């Protein structure tokens, strides 16, 4: 019998990639403790490439119920700074402003946080502020607007209207009495559509705002009533999901659901089917940048199969931005119920903002008009 000693396998003897994967399954408090056990484990936890912190941080952001360790994570030098881009982009405003310790980031990183969190139209308020000051200022403005009825910061609320003739109007109304449904009712009256019920679609949901489209679905008698651009905004061309036989799956009662921090598919998986990541911030998705050179991707409600039962969008489509209640984002279904008149908090939304989340619309719109009218 051989007396050779069989080497034992320990956690530290494993490859660093495997160690990082194992540590990524811990909660934040346990991960902090493990990182102090040895020099090798500290090296793994502080490596920005391995980054075992990403998974527990993402879980905290998705749940909305933060661990105590999460509140002052910036004081831990072993946590890679790159994690704070996600935290400052998706965490609740009240948590960042009043409960957490802010990290020491570069100006370029604060700029990235701003551009990922806020819609680009809000850049008009930057002026001479540093990016850190501007980020905190805008986050406080969002928190203030959602917790009070004060509209001092924004007296006029802008919104976008897609017309059926291919043009776009960028309009504004007083913020104090801004009522999208009242404005759209007047638009219906002018288009002789008052007898039809409006339809509301959530185009995209971000950390602080949701983009909402209000229009009319109907079976028109004439194709002149159809708003082609409304359909293009909600159903971008070229993204139909097909199986290996080329059959369109959008009519097979299979729908995509938006998971707050991941992909989710309702129904049996099909070879060749494609899942789209949820659009979580206003920066254009990487797959949009070369449109129309190849099929656009992304993942908010535009990419799903919204059953319209043969109806078409008629008349004008109104696109607005609504501030989200100061609570965790659990899912679109929970958020949509807030729009039914009980939550009257809105912010300005411009044509430039629309192009950020829907860049393919630039080539479809015939004219952009600042204010009412036909732009003649």
| pLDDT at residue number 239 | 54
| pLDDT at residue number 52 | 93
Q: Is the pLDDT of residue 95 over 70?
A: yes
Sign of CA dihedral 158, 305, 188, 333: negative
Mean pLDDT of 12-32: 90
Q: What is the mean pLDDT of the chain?
A: 78
How far, in Å, CA of 182 to CA of 58, rounded? 39
How far, in Å, CA of 171 to CA of 349, rounded? 9
**pLDDT tens figures, 225-272:** 899 899 889 887 665 444 333 334 343 333 333 333 333 333 333 334
For the residues of 344-369, what is the DSSP string, one character each?
--EE---HHHHHHH-GGGGGT-SEEE
**pLDDT tens figures, 176-201:** 888 999 999 999 999 899 999 999 98
Q: Is the pLDDT of residue 305 over 90?
A: no
Mean pLDDT of 295-314: 56
What is the pTM for the complete model shown?
Answer: 0.74
Q: Is the pLDDT of residue 279 over 90?
A: no
The three-state secondary structure class of 90 is: helix
| pLDDT at residue number 2 | 58
| Residue 238, Ramachandran bin (φ over 0: left; ψ between -120 and 50: alpha; else beta) | left
CB 59 within 8 A of CB 83: no
């Amino acid at each position: 019998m051989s007396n050779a000693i069989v080497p034992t396998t320990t956690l530290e003897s494993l490859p660093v990639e495997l160690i990082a994967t194992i540590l990524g399954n811990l909660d934040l408090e346990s991960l902090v403790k493990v990182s102090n056990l040895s020099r090798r484990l500290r090296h793994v936890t502080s490596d920005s490439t391995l980054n075992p912190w990403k998974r527990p941080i993402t879980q905290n952001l998705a749940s909305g119920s933060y661990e105590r360790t999460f509140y002052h994570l910036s004081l831990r030098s072993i946590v890679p700074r790159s994690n704070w881009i996600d935290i400052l982009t998706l965490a609740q405003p009240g948590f960042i402003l009043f409960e957490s310790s802010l990290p020491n980031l570069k100006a370029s990183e604060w700029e990235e946080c701003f551009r990922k969190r806020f819609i680009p139209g809000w850049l008009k308020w930057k002026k001479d502020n540093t990016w850190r000051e501007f980020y905190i200022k805008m986050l406080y403005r969002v928190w203030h607007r959602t917790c009070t009825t004060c509209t001092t910061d924004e007296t006029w609320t802008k919104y976008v209207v897609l017309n059926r003739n291919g043009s776009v109007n960028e309009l504004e109304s007083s913020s104090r009495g801004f009522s999208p449904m009242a404005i759209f009712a007047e638009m219906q009256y002018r288009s002789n559509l008052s007898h039809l019920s409006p339809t509301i679609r959530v185009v995209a949901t971000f950390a602080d705002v949701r983009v909402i489209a209000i229009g009319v679905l109907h079976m028109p008698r004439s194709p002149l009533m159809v708003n082609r651009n409304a359909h293009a905004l909600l159903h971008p061309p070229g993204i139909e999901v097909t199986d290996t036989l080329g059959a369109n799956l959008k009519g097979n009662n299979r729908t995509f659901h938006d998971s707050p921090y991941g992909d989710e598919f309702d129904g049996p998986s099909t070879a060749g089917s494609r899942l789209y990541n949820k659009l979580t911030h206003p920066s254009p998705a990487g797959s949009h940048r070369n449109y129309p050179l190849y099929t656009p991707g992304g993942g908010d409600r535009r990419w799903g199969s919204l059953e319209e039962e043969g109806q078409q969008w008629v008349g004008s489509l109104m696109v607005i931005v609504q501030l989200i209640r100061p609570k965790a984002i659990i899912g679109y279904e929970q958020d949509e119920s807030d729009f039914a008149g009980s939550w009257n908090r809105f912010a300005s939304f411009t044509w430039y903002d629309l192009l950020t989340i829907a860049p393919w619309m630039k080539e479809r719109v015939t004219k952009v008009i600042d204010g009412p009218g036909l732009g003649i």
